[in-house]
Amino acid sequence: MSGIWLRGNLHMHTRRSDGRLTYEEAVALYEEAGYDFIAVTDHWILSERGVTPGGMLLLPGCEYNVGGHVREGIYHIVGIGMQREPALSQKQESLSAQRILDAIRACGGLAILAHPAWSLNSAEEVSRLTGLAGTEIYNTTSGFPTNARPYSGLFVDQLAARGVLLPCMAADDAHLYQEDALKSYLMVHAREKTHSAVMEALASGDFYATQGPRVELTVEGRVANVECSAASRVVFYSDAIWNAERVTSGEEITHARCRLLPHETFVRAEVTDRQGRTAYTSPVRIA
């Protein structure tokens, strides 16, 4: 397989909005940890494109939000790679999730739905939106010790069951830079380490989300296969409520397979290692 694997984080905050570190401190933290690319996504402040002295790529990014109550819908949308400032303002009376998506795309960016479980987004509502490049299946800061809804797998599956298969992403969404940094990230398969190559890979879905394990999901006919780093559990998720081959558990698992039932229309996989760290594939449509 040609190309290279790059590690990156696409959701984090600094003192420019509501993070505890300065922009320079946050960038340095991820660079020192060996990340290949990041996007600083302060609320309503578009970060600049660049390259650090050590060679880490800085993708332009910003987090936009609309809605104040669950009843009306709360949407946090991360824009990545915009070539100019989107025509958006928090004071726009007509602001909506769809308008945010359209504005990000009009500027050459990719729009990612942030922490849908934390926002209590519903699959019914999100299925009406167009233009999403992905959704966070795991968001570090939305979990313990400050929150309790970091995982959005149920939302992803309910959406996929409706025929909307969104690429799954993981991000720290770091604010405090204590328990919420350097934990969840993307492994992107790009042709080279450049801004354009990373954006191409993100747009094509050539990545997986992880907290450490490696994972690759392939589907041949109606058999799903996973190749992974040493794991204690592999789970295949789909729109079937039961499949006898869904879970493989044990020690040092590096391969698992699942024969798919006739009515299953999609499949995705999660791999968990002995340390409790998980990798997540995106859902794959079954022909």
pLDDT value at residue 68:
86
Give the Cα separation of 168 and 27 in Å (integer).
24
For the stretch 178-208, pLDDT in tens is 999 999 999 999 999 999 999 999 999 999 9
Place of tokens 């309910």: 158
pLDDT higher than 90, residue 92: no
Q: At a CB cut-off of 8 Å and minimum separation 6, what does 22 contact?
A: 14, 15
Amino acid at 211: Q
What mean pLDDT do residues 224-240 have? 98
Residue 28: how many other CB atoms lie within 10 Å = 15
pLDDT value at residue 169:
98
Nearest to 283 by CA among 132, 163, 181: 163
Confidence class of residue 237 from pLDDT cuts 50, 70 and 90?
very high
Would you give the DSSP letter of residue 149? Answer: -
Backbone angles phi, psi at 111, to 5 degrees: -105, 125
Do residues 6 and 36 make contact, with C-beta atoms less than 8 angstroms apart?
yes
What mean pLDDT do residues 252-277 have? 98
Give the Cα separation of 103 and 207 in Å (integer).
24
- Token pair belonging to 130: 């167009």
pLDDT higher than 80, residue 1: no
Backbone angles phi, psi at 98, to 5 degrees: -65, -35
Do residues 115 and 136 make contact, with C-beta atoms less than 8 angstroms apart?
yes
Confidence class of residue 91 from pLDDT cuts 50, 70 and 90?
confident
For the stretch 136-194, pLDDT in tens is 999 999 999 989 999 999 999 999 999 999 999 999 999 999 999 999 999 999 999 99
Backbone angles phi, psi at 71, to 5 degrees: -60, -35
DSSP 3-state assignment of 270? strand
Q: Name beta bridge partners: 255.
A: 227
